[in-house]
Structure 1
Amino acid sequence: MIDLPSGGIMPAVSVSDRRILFTLLAFGAEAGILAWEYLNGGVRSHHLLANPDLPAVSNWWGLLLIPLLTWWTMTQLRRRIESSAQYNAKGLAALAAFVCALVYGLALSLLFSHGSMLVDYAFFGLLAVALVLRLWHGEYLLGFVFGMGFVIGPVLPALFGAMVALFSWTVHTAWRVLWRKVRARRGLA
């Protein structure tokens, strides 16, 4: 155990060690999914916007994308945790965010694969969620990509998730700037 300056205790396993472990686990999970696909008819490719006239993206790209996304997520999480006095609370919040995004991605995948009319609501509902939650955090994107990856591979959900993350970051940043200006004008800052 390591004592933090804030009086908290951090487990002896460093976040960097966890970053390597989680990246290897993510790589293994993606390799397992691709092995299953390969043995059951071949690794699939998915057309952009589900339009056969547009280029197809192979699920093989997941072997590169998923580990990179996991590494980035763990690096981002490490920075947030190290700047906080609440080490355990930040870790649990990140885990909860990952699980919620995973479930959302799985639900969206199931709706899409069954041709449900609800897929449009779930798809655009993510933009409404982006107004409230900080979806630019890596754990949301990683969970979403893992959840959707079973049906349409990891690349297309990563592209869509990146757009949602950018939208969320833009809205939250604009709101923060506007709020600071309002507070400064009223003398509250």
Structure 2
Amino acid sequence: MSKLFQALIENVNQREILDWAEGNSAVLAVTKERVYLVKTNTWSRPNIKSYDIRSITSLHLQKPGFMAGHMQIIASGVGDKTKSLSSAFDYAKDENTIMIKDNYDHFLRLEQLIYKQKEPKNESTPPQPSEPEEDVFMKLQKLKGLVDAEIISQEEYEEKRLELLARI
């Protein structure tokens, strides 16, 4: 277990962590409601920064290539200190960025997990609006016309009539 992950679980209940990944001198962990970024420099203690999932406005994930890749967290109230054409060095200095090199696919899954956790939880489906009574009566009239024109049978008419009346 890495020193950074150890620092994380000293401050966060390990059972709450849905997934995590280690980057260059940093760890990113996701829970149901928060994202944790644990970073360290050579001479400092690990620094834990947490973000409320709902405050995250976007994630910038850059696949590693010639240079290291990164995942930057952009949240409301957290300024983006990098410019649109920044170098990997600028991202490495940003406190809201984790540098990555060989586990890009894992960070891609974390990105998807974060966005999934941001989706509003639909505890119960809202009640469906009932059909207005006028529409039901119009359908009953049309149904009566179909049985009178012998397009549907009397049995089909009764079955549909009872269904429509149950909606009132």
TM-score (norm 2): 0.26
User: Where is the helix percentage greater, Structure 1 or Structure 2?
Assistant: 1
Tell me: higher relative CO, structure 1 or 2? Use CA pairs within 8 A at least 6 residues apart: 1
TM-score (norm. length: structure 1): 0.24
